[in-house]
Structure 1
């Protein structure tokens, strides 16, 4: 079985721009990367569910913004539109298919930028600006790092790393933010980076970038969150510069994975489906430098880690019964990669 993955990353050293790579699970090997487009710092990507549109962050001096690519009949991609208007580049993209709306999280400017896609054209419709700060040196201002609706159209969940808050917004019919439903305070110095939702839709997991924790929250019927418990992703005496990066949960809801930069580690937790609580099952080297992102293959028999500084993907084989991963390969070249995104299963 062959699966295509899109690779987003910085273009500070040797990376040329937006690329893709194909994984052959029968041979457990990757093809050489294919260049989609030479652009600056396509650091985060998003796809429409039908795989027709690929969205990327792009830096085009003196501004930054988003670009839209459309799939052609020969499986190549063409840049259809772009919108550059922010001084600093964003850090995360989320696309809501039902409303054809793209959400850009801007860490440096503390904003959520909202765009609407119409006939291949991307149009900016709203900017939401946050204020706030917290106790860590990286929290002198609001720093938006993640948005998602978690497969429903009613609420948008937002991680503000800078103020140690999770915001829950109601959405208007056009996908713009209507009003604030909840502002959940996270323990000071956590730095909420990304969220993952349990398949049973009862629990949300927050990875703390700055204190290397995973926080379990109950997702209530009214869309609000309630903190239940917190877990250490790495030992407290680990690398002093260690910071949390990516978080993923298996489709069966039994296992949660997180990556930690500079500690360069993947941590596996078992998940109690009734309570949502976690138990540590495995801590393993990522076999690279700065594991910024990772993903599970479609059949979840493999876990693929993208490294920002060591320029190669790490392939792990995964035991679906135990969740345990074991090293398989470290030879796939993917320089400065900070985002790996699989084509959607249709």
Structure 2
């Protein structure tokens, strides 16, 4: 069955905005991409659960904000709203179903910006959550909120602050607004960037951009986090010149993958069934420059890796028993792509 993906990225060289693209899991190949909309710097996108609503980061008139699209019956994405609530564009976006709220992580501003799409499809900027602080690394002179996404029932929002080494847990009220519930301070210099949730256990896995680690975290009943294990994704002599990027987990909760920029590898881990701890099984070259984002395909049999600088998507097949990856092809042009999302 043909799969659909949305590509977001920078627009500094060849890219013009957000694109759609089809992937054929029977052949392990992509078709050509199609431009959805011309946008300025749409570096991240998010979709609703039913995949008929799309939100993308955009910059307009020196303001950062969100553009929303709805999928028509003939398969076209049509813009329905846009709103700009900050001076700097964000770097990550997530969507909450019941309140139709959109959470934008702002790296340079150190904020979580909350937007809401009302019943008339008007997009409003409704809340700003400001972070403060710093840490020990040269890239941690101030707060850098890099990620904000929800647990399975969308009652809690987990926020990675790369600049302060803190993962914050926020309670979400009925209308989607946030209040701080707890914080976890990681090892200084970690730079938490993104995280994923285990599909069956009360566990979270976070990737550290600055020290190239993956941290296993236990989730308490109140949503607070505590550390269980920290592993290093790449050889120690490569850490200083590298940067952790994306992290993904398989649907069965048996394997975890991370990408590392500049060292340009994917690292595969097996996940222990008893306690969720990690054991490295593979480190493999991504066959491209700056693997900023990647995704497991809808069957979990392929890993699709977007490259920011070399402009191509690499396809890997995946051994579902061992978790190991095998290079398939690197032929799909996707300029400046830093986000690949399932549609």
| TM-score, normalised with respect to structure 2 | 0.98
TM-fit CA distance, 1:61: 2.6
Q: Match of 2:292?
A: 292
Shift of 1:174: 0.6
Alignment of 1:103-182 (within 5 A): 103-118=103-118, 119-178=120-179, 180-182=180-182
CA RMSD of aligned residues (A): 1.0
Distance 2:309 2:293 in 1: 12
Specify the alignment match of 2:266 in structure 1: 266
**What secondary structure, in the 3-state scheme, does the structure 1 residue paired with 2:292 have?**
strand
**Any idea what the Cα deviations from partners look like across 1:227-267, whole Å, max 9, x if unmatched?**
11100000101163200000000011110000000000000
Counterpart of 1:33 in structure 2 is 33
CA–CA distance in 2 between the matches of 1:122 and 1:59?
A: 15
Note the 1:180-259 alignment, pairs <5 A: 180-238=180-238, 240-259=240-259
Aligned to 1:62: 62
TM-score for both structures, normalised by structure 1 = 0.97
Instruction: Give yes or no for contact 1:11–1:41 (8 Å, CA) kept in 2.
Output: yes
1: distance between equivalents of 2:269 and 2:29?
A: 27
Which ranges of structure 1 fall in alignment gaps of 5 or more residues? none
Query: SS at the partner of 1:230?
Result: strand
1:51 match: secondary structure: coil
Q: Is the 8 A contact 2:212 2:239 kept in 1?
A: no
Residue 147 of structure 1 contacts residue 159 of structure 1 at CA under 8 Å; is this kept in 2?
yes
Question: Take 2:37 and 2:99, find their aligned partners in 1: how far apart are those partners?
Answer: 27
Post-superposition CA distance 1:22-53 (Å, at most 9, x none): 01122222111101111111100000111111
Gaps of 5+ in 2: none
The total of aligned residue pairs comes to 342
Distance in 2 separating the partners of 1:20 and 1:154: 30
**8 A Cα contact 1:57 1:67, kept in partner:** yes
Q: CA–CA distance in 2 between the matches of 1:24 and 1:82?
A: 33
1:239 and 1:262 in contact (8 A); partners too = no
Per-residue Cα deviation, 1:111-153 (whole angstroms, up to 9, x for no partner):
0000111232211110010100000111000110111122223
Does the 8 Å CA contact 1:166/1:185 hold for their aligned counterparts? yes
- List aligned pairs for 1:8-27, cutoff 5 A: 8-27=8-27
Q: 8 Å contact 2:211–2:239 — kept in the other structure?
A: no
Name the CA distance, whole Å, in 2 between partners of 1:72 and 1:54. 12
Deviations 1:68-104 (A, max 9, x none): 0111111011111101131111000010112211100
Aligned to 1:237, the other structure's residue is in SS state: helix
Aligned to 2:92: 92
Q: Distance in 1 between matches of 2:148 and 2:85?
A: 20
